[in-house]
Amino acid sequence: MGILNITPDSFADGGRFFDPQAALAQARALAAEGADILDVGGESTRPFSEPVPLEEELRRVIPVIEAIRAEIPLPISIDTYKSPVARRALEVGANIINDISALRFDPQMAPLAAEYKVPVVLMHMQGTPRDMQVNPSYKNLIAEIKDFFRERLYFAVSCGISADRLILDPGIGFGKTWHHNLELLNGLDAFLDLGCPLLVGPSRKAFIGHLLDGVPPDDRDVGTLAALAMAVLKGARLVRVHNVAWARQFLTVFNAIRQAQPSGPQ
């Protein structure tokens, strides 16, 4: 899943693709690098960020989705928790709803997803982007996130969303300390028995900078690859990244090694 932020203030690439033509050029580049899905978002959800007004979010993302759909035959996910944004995005060609609130912030999002019969990403977050990093705390990180997923899965299915269209994202960096993120990546396999594909998005996040003595986001791609390796080893089926080319090359070789079989008697 290649990240396309149509924002002036995202933590890793804010402003770089804010212009619609620049966004379309980046979508082309992500596709050429091997993205399987393009994830388009018009509101930064970095720590301490403020919400974007509905009309502004629509103005940012809808023309870009229309332009992508006109020429790039890849699935598009709309990264939003607002049902009017998701509805309009689906109308012009988006295929997936990626909701950081796991259908909690907008009561119309679940009925919309059921109506359109599209896949939905349910992400765990403690708090909101504005306050999630103030003092994240857990008594049992993995158990609490697993309980959250169970409740959200029950809710989604009760709203008419087919269970086979649900994807779980444990929310790396969303209401977690750097140590929580490490524990979460190492414990991802605890969520596999919930029966849904796991999506993991560690790309360029602050915990990598913390471990690498404060390197800036643009210099965290090598560290991101280490996080991807652990995520895939522990069962992740989708990874959300900024640098698609590096992730594609790394995971192609990594998975080939993992899947290699003995050629003769041992």
Q: What is the set of active-site residues? A: 205, 240
Phi, psi of 152, deg, nearest 5: -70, -35
Task: Report the C-alpha gap between 174 and 179 in whole angstroms.
Answer: 13
- CA dihedral (224, 228, 234, 236) positive or negative: positive
Q: Which helix (H) or strand (E) element contains residue 257? A: helix 244-259
Q: What does the alpha-carbon distance between residue 220 and residue 205 come to, in Å, rounded to a whole number?
A: 8
Q: 3-state DSSP helix/strand/coil percent for the chain, to nearest 5?
A: 45, 10, 40
Q: How far apart are CA 188 and CA 176, in angstroms?
A: 15
